[in-house]
Amino acid sequence: MSNSKIHLRASNSNITLPKRKAVALISGGLDSMLATKAILEQNVHVEGLNFFTGFCVEGHTQALRKKDTQKQKRNNALWVAEQLGIKLHIIDIVEEYKSIVINPKYGYGANLNPCLDCKIFMIQKAKEWMLENHFDFIITGEVMGQRPKSQRKHLMPIVAKESGAEDRLVRPLCAKNLPPTLPEQQKWIDREQLFNFSGRNRKPQMNLANTYGFAEYAQPAGGCCFLTNEHYSKKLQDLWTHRGEKLYELDDILLLKVGRHLRPRPHFKLIISREEGENHYLEGYCHQFIHLRPLSHPGPIALLEGEPSAEDLHLAAQIVARFSSRRTEACVTIQIQQGRDDPRTLEVIPLASEAIPEDWYI
């Protein structure tokens, strides 16, 4: 009898348990990179998710503007996945995400950032993907106390519960500050190899990056979402106010990232390019808008949104001339065109800079 028991134990010791699978939310920042690496180190198969909302900071304005030529023009989420050696799934959630931006249950942060609702929504989407693809748990790069709107200690259980992820949500960077999750309880991962980071100090993450051999990573710069940006949020609020409803399309929110935005009159707005790259970008929208451009001198393309009178168009032409290369000339020729209709021209005197009030700038 005793021999059979010994034999049974020996047989069981040779059993290979199935490799566990986790899905990681990959923003492209350092925290999600480290959190994913920590789980990869424990022999777990990991694949990444990156959600496209339209409000992402990277990969848009950087690619347009010459002043950003020193910055590497890359999708950081794809780059992180490549460094980690994992597959990345980029998922378009533009339409679904609108309800989060327009009517967040937990409200906005300092600007129009619905951070807590956003976190709940994205983890909910990750849970759906996890179940559909037969994965076991979810990884995020959250650090307790790092972000005031979504990562305070009392909010973390709310995110886990309302997203439906419950105890299958693992936050490797601050796991030791939280109750053990199912993967820890079931020994799919070793809790002792996780971390207890907290607060806004980035040194622990940077030290861990050095430990893992990550010499390069995206630097934090106020969040990866334009909705955290005060100037962008003002433009979005202006759009909602003058349309009389809190709605938007993808083109609306992309255009808010580009150019100078001026509202000389309540019923029309100008988007004026600041350099050649933005000129090329706005060219793609000329068929949708009334657009203006200097003919006599180099200068910007401007899109006009609204229903301008003849007097408004003359004022708009003067403003565009002000931002041309010959702003001090006595006369500048401006072409005005409605979509693909035949263009017409106006000869205008450029407005002086002091003639453009600060409250015209959005």
CATH number at residue 131: 3.40.50.620
What is the reported pLDDT for 309?
Answer: 96
CA distances from 191 to 19, 115, 127, 179, 315 (A): 17, 28, 22, 10, 65
What residue type is 43 in one-letter code?
N
Q: Could you tell me if 273 and 173 lie in one domain?
A: no
One domain, residues 49 and 148? yes
41-89: per-residue pLDDT in tens? Answer: 999 999 999 999 999 876 555 556 666 555 566 788 999 999 999 999 9
Token pair of 38, please? Answer: 């920590």
Shared-domain flag, residues 43 and 138: yes
d(CA 120, CA 257): 26
pLDDT at 220: 54
* One domain for residues 62 and 103: yes
Give the Cα separation of 151 and 17 in Å (integer).
34
350 domain-assigned: yes
Mean of the per-residue pLDDT values for the chain? Answer: 89
Residue 112, helix vs strand vs coil: coil
| Band (18; pLDDT cuts 50, 70, 90) | confident
Same domain, 352 and 271: yes
Average pLDDT over residues 330-353: 92
Nearest C-alpha neighbor of 125 from the set 353, 133, 10: 133
Digit-coded pLDDT (tens) for 86-100: 999 999 999 999 999
pLDDT at res. 68: 55
How far apart, in whole angstroms, are the C-alpha atoms of residue 283 and residue 301? 8
Q: How confident is the model over 266-311, as pLDDT tens digits?
A: 999 999 999 999 999 999 999 999 999 999 889 999 999 999 999 9
- Is the same domain home to 184 and 292? no
State how far the Cα of 124 lies from the Cα of 162, in Å rounded to an integer.
8
The closest of 291, 287, 232 to 256, measured between CA atoms, is 232
**Residue 246 located in a structural domain:** no
Show the tokens assigned to 215: 């010499």
Whole-number pLDDT of residue 314? 97
Range of the domain at 184: 5-226
175 and 99 share one domain: yes
Mean pLDDT of 161-167: 97
**pLDDT on residue 330:** 87
Q: What per-residue confidence (pLDDT) applies to 327?
A: 83
User: Residue 7 has what pLDDT?
Assistant: 38
Sheet holding 344-348, edge to edge: 260-265, 268-272, 302-306, 290-294, 332-338, 344-348
Number of structural domains, the chain?
Answer: 2
Q: Examine the domain organization and report whether 277 and 215 are in the same domain.
A: no
Q: Which residues pair with 305 in a beta bridge?
A: 269
Q: What pLDDT, in 10s, does the model give residues 167-202?
A: 999 999 999 999 999 999 999 999 999 999 998 888
Q: What is the pLDDT of residue 14?
A: 56
- Nearest Cα to 142, choosing from 188, 181, 180, 173? 173
What band does 30 get if pLDDT is binned at 50, 70 and 90? Answer: very high
3-class SS of residue 277 = helix
